[in-house]
A = this chain, B = another copy of it.
């Protein structure tokens, strides 16, 4: 069951932050983010779909996805994992291409955490941290909050 959204302030004008609480255990949420066959089922807010997902879960490993728009256009995406703490934290970015090659056009770094609350619920925090304020504003205008929020709801529904 998704619970009401929480509000938390970003740390800087280069950061977007989404905080949500759920009664789903964090192990299930983490599995949804790290197992391709699960990720493909919730990652893109409908009516978009994820048609492909490859995950190499180690620092420097890649997460390759292909998203398909309602009219059939495909958007491949490659991210690189930076930090992995099973069930607790996942950090990834497009600031690198494979083999630590710096991406000339870095957009953002995602820092995801799943905290177990005293109530037994899980608090999910997604920070999107940008190299520039301009990129941050663009990301907000692209609908980060709505998109990531909707994707979170889809994940909760899937693994509940």
Contacts and interface: CB of A to CB of B under 8 A. Distances in A.
A127 to B, nearest CB: 8
Select the residue from A11, A82, A99 with max chain B CB neighbours within 10 A: A82
Contacts of A129: 100-102
A26 interface: no
A100 B91 contact: yes
B111 A130 contact: no
Contacts of A12: 101
A11 to B, nearest CB: 8
Interface of A: 11-12, 14, 59-60, 82-84, 91, 95-96, 99-104, 106, 108-109, 111, 129-132
14 contacts: A11-B101, A14-B101, A14-B102, A14-B104, A59-B59, A60-B83, A100-B129, A101-B129, A102-B108, A102-B131, A103-B131, A104-B132, A106-B106, A106-B131
